[in-house]
Structure 1
Amino acid sequence: MLASLASILSLMLSTLLMMVAFGLQSYVVPVRAVAEGWSTQTISMIATGYTIGFTLSCVVTPKFVLLVGHVRVFVALITLLAIAILLCALAVDWRAWMLFRGISGFAISGSYLIIESWLNERVTNENRGSVFSIYLITTMVGTIGGQYLVPLGDPSNTSLFILCGIIFSVALLPTALTSSPLPAPPTQARFNVPALYRRSPVAVVGAFLAGALSGAWLNLGGVFTQRTGLSTAEGATLLASVLIGSALSQIPIGRASDRMDRRLVMVACGAVGTVSCLVMAMVSGGPAALLYVVAAFVGSVIFPIYALNVAHANDRAQPDEYVEVSSGMMIVYGFGTISGPLMVGPIMDRFGPGSLFAVLAVYFALYGAYAAWRISRREENDGLVAKTDFQAMAAQPLGADAAAAALQPDAPAEDVLEDTTTPEWRQP
């Protein structure tokens, strides 16, 4: 265990610094956009640029890694992250920001992909859970820490943008200078979404809705905090509450889904999400402490449901199909994240910030209702469906874990289950 940790220490330090900058960036951008007087629909267009870049990277980045290797691509991507946020400070125009945020989404997605594929190669079956727990704690601590840097500066000037660029640049140093062994050359993965849908409709539809939910919240949650009158410190606490709620719930949800039909757990998560979001819509503008508590309940299901759908899809796949399944799920999730801000932004403009949670409640209701309908259409046959073990995933879905599996060295098909494509249940 100690040897494994020593081999990834520099990578973990780079990850921590990258996530601090990411947390700062993800909060300061919407705060500045609101300060510029841009409409929520305009801000949602900027967010769409980010999600398009994020999804595109999941397909393109493995090709670059295949050509020049993990470290060079990682250095290039972190450099792009620093450039993108500094360009946002130089050109304050929503059309330019849409492009800059697209670059940022592309770079952060590729960075996650490389980090997680690197980790997957360094761990063993015996220490996989412990190492990934450390990694996922690192990502959560970094993100929350970055969000709490916003109250220390003034988003209306360039200082926080420059600070974010500096932190991204510093994040390069530990990995660029590491003497640890580098990952082996990668392979490519295929994906076939129509075939995936035929195998598990509830997994594909659920992944799309999970993407819409997380895409809307991650890109417009900061707008909600500003337009409901919360201070930057209170807004950071609200965003942190969602992450903490997710961190606390994923293991119980995963274990419950291992012991019963996963679709029943999907129905329950849909119900919890619907009720929590309706309550949040009704109390928006109320006491900050109440918002924190309700936000934690929203977070308890808004991020874990993607892992739930990936686990269900893997249940119905052969071991040598896991990479293809995970890649297809990632693409569906990515399209969901693109649709979320586009749908929610205009509604928030017309009906106010609380309508964000009203729309999320509709998404959760659709998620649970579709799972319930699929139960009525096809019974779970535990005698034929061998469930995969769950691993908790990031409180804030990084979205690139599936593509990370494609960056593993060639392995025999019978080894895939154990070594390279563990299910998405891996954290919080």
Structure 2
Amino acid sequence: MASVIKIYALFLGSALLMFGGGLQGLLLSVRGAEEGFSLLALGLIGTGWSIGFVAGSLFVPLVVRKVGHIRAFSVMAAIGTITILLNLLWVNDVSWIVLRALSGFCFAGAAMIVESWLNEVADNKSRGTIFSIYVTINMAASTLGQIAMSVTGTAGFIPFVVGAISFICAVLPTALTSSPQPKPLQSAKIDIGLLYRTSPVAAIASFSVGMANGAFGTLAPVYGYEQGLDAGGIALLFAIAAILGAVAQVPFGRLSDHIDRRLVMIGLSGFAAVVGALIVIINPTAGWGMYVLFAAYGFAANPIYAVAVAHANDFAKDGEFAKIAGGMLMICGIGLAIGPAVASVIMGAWHPVGLFIVTATFHGALAGAAYLRMRVRKSVEAEERAPFQPMSDRQVTPETFVLDPRTENDDDDVPVQREAAVPEELIETVERRDDVQDKPV
């Protein structure tokens, strides 16, 4: 019973984090546009977040090893709270870029600590269920945070204070826990060469998704604002795209368990490219047409990263999934950082609709690359694949992959070949060594 209470308390902490993150991300883009920030500055705000998030994934484990989980989490939540309040006090583009990077750093660290606690209470039987519930809660809470902007609006101090309250309340489940602290956090295991050797199309997908979704997540609110939508309309626009994207993950993921996952990537990225091209051609103003096109975009674009992770895992040897997933995290993070800056320049030259030139280009490139790879390499047989797991490209940390049930066969940093026989003499030697090490001195 205590374990169940602890799990739901951690789910609550994660939900509060994601609620505040969803609200803050959308709020800064729209409020920045209202304040007259340049498109480049708005793009760099998104770049700052991604750089901070990746840096947090790399360096927060060092902080946790030094001061412990509870103290580190409290620091992350406190600094995150201060950051969003400073966004309210220092309303200028340079400050917001720097603060957004700091916010991304703290958000990554806080999320990793929650995930490490969930990983501690999960066993092999419950890991898949806990992971699925965790991902679902994150997607739902982030979407609710975006919808909240339709209630709070963007003017004045209320939306910033609501976000700050959400961040600081997220500390309560971990601060009040009486359970032992989890194992040390996992730093991102970067082996981009291994990732590319294992699955070139997964590496390409990581970068393409990062470029497209980084640009969309940061600058689509600006596009909506320029097209005449108010805060409520922009929040609804994003909520529809997010909800349809979350709903699409399960059917397309399950489909990819039975057919070549690259076919699914081709279909999704090709459709996302077509939707982006239609938005460029039509350039819809505020109305039902814009909502339909954004819903279609979210439906197609959001599941691609999770399918790419599953495809890479199909070809990974036992013990390699964490390294491959860490490589995908880094490549996607690079795309998430570059995408908003590139899109802001194109939007400045081609008007706001230039955003979808970027998304259509990278989704189209991914579809072409996946098609070419299908002509070179056969797919893994369906019965040999690890089951698909939903996830969001903008909410993944190294601890997410530790919690992922597909990591169960990973053995730290030592790869183990599939079906490799281990001599009994070696097993006995290791057991004797472990017995000696376990004896008290």
TM-score by length of structure 1 reads: 0.89
* Distance of 1:187 and 1:243 partners within structure 2: 28
Q: CA deviation at 1:369?
A: 0.5
1:398 alignment partner in structure 2: 395
Moved more, 237-246 or 4-13: 4-13
Contact in 1 for aligned 2:116/2:185 (Cα 8 Å): no
Change (3 A) 1:15 1:380: closer
Q: Secondary structure in 2 aligned to 1:393?
A: coil
* Amino acid corresponding to residue 352 of structure 1 in structure 2: H
2:133 alignment partner in structure 1: 134
1:386 alignment partner in structure 2: 384
* Distance of 1:414 and 1:31 partners within structure 2: 43
* Distance of 1:229 and 1:199 partners within structure 2: 46
2:93 alignment partner in structure 1: 94
Q: CA deviation at 1:118?
A: 2.3
Structure 1 unaligned runs (5+)?
417-428
Contact in 1 for aligned 2:270/2:363 (Cα 8 Å): yes
Change (3 A) 1:187 1:337: closer
Q: 1:221-279 deviations in whole A, cap 9, x for unaligned? A: 21122111111111111101111111111111111211122112111112111112222
Contact in 2 for aligned 1:35/1:156 (Cα 8 Å): no
Q: Are 2:34 and 1:10 aligned? A: no
Change (3 A) 1:154 1:391: closer
* Distance of 1:188 and 1:234 partners within structure 2: 39
Change (3 A) 1:3 1:284: farther
Q: Secondary structure in 2 aligned to 1:349?
A: helix
Please list, as runs of the form range in 1=range in 2, the aligned pairs for 1:59-74 lying within 5 A after superposition: 59-74=58-73
2:431 alignment partner in structure 1: none
* Distance of 1:125 and 1:325 partners within structure 2: 21
Contact in 2 for aligned 1:186/1:407 (Cα 8 Å): no
Q: Secondary structure in 1 aligned to 2:234?
A: helix
* Distance of 2:153 and 2:387 partners within structure 1: 46
Please list, as runs of the form range in 1=range in 2, the aligned pairs for 1:115-264 lying within 5 A after superposition: 115-186=114-185, 188=187, 190-264=189-263
Q: Are 2:276 and 1:280 aligned? A: no
* Distance of 1:4 and 1:128 partners within structure 2: 13
1:108 alignment partner in structure 2: 107
Q: 1:150-196 deviations in whole A, cap 9, x for unaligned? A: 23345233332233222211222232112344323345563211232
* Distance of 1:148 and 1:390 partners within structure 2: 28
* Distance of 2:60 and 2:348 partners within structure 1: 35
| Aligned alpha-carbon RMSD (Å) | 2.4
Q: Secondary structure in 2 aligned to 1:320?
A: coil
Contact in 1 for aligned 2:10/2:174 (Cα 8 Å): yes
Q: Secondary structure in 1 aligned to 2:171?
A: helix
Q: Secondary structure in 1 aligned to 2:155?
A: coil
Q: Are 2:366 and 1:343 aligned? A: no
* Amino acid corresponding to residue 191 of structure 2 in structure 1: N
Change (3 A) 1:3 1:263: farther
Q: Secondary structure in 2 aligned to 1:148?
A: helix
2:78 alignment partner in structure 1: 79
* Distance of 2:75 and 2:2 partners within structure 1: 28
Q: Size of the alignment, in residue pairs? A: 410
* Distance of 1:370 and 1:263 partners within structure 2: 9
Q: 1:97-121 deviations in whole A, cap 9, x for unaligned? A: 1110000111112222222232233
2:434 alignment partner in structure 1: none
* Amino acid corresponding to residue 221 of structure 2 in structure 1: G
Q: CA deviation at 1:301?
A: 2.6
TM-score by length of structure 2 reads: 0.86
* Distance of 1:398 and 1:189 partners within structure 2: 14
* Amino acid corresponding to residue 20 of structure 2 in structure 1: A
Q: Are 2:386 and 1:365 aligned? A: no
Q: 1:14-63 deviations in whole A, cap 9, x for unaligned? A: 22222221122112111111111112122112221111111111111222
Contact in 1 for aligned 2:16/2:167 (Cα 8 Å): yes
Q: CA deviation at 1:304?
A: 1.5
* Distance of 1:241 and 1:346 partners within structure 2: 27
Quote the sequence identity (%).
Answer: 35
* Amino acid corresponding to residue 388 of structure 2 in structure 1: F
Change (3 A) 1:403 1:156: same
* Amino acid corresponding to residue 14 of structure 2 in structure 1: T
1:424 alignment partner in structure 2: none
Contact in 2 for aligned 1:16/1:139 (Cα 8 Å): yes
Q: Secondary structure in 1 aligned to 2:338?
A: helix
* Amino acid corresponding to residue 62 of structure 2 in structure 1: K
Change (3 A) 1:264 1:149: closer
Q: CA deviation at 1:13?
A: 1.7
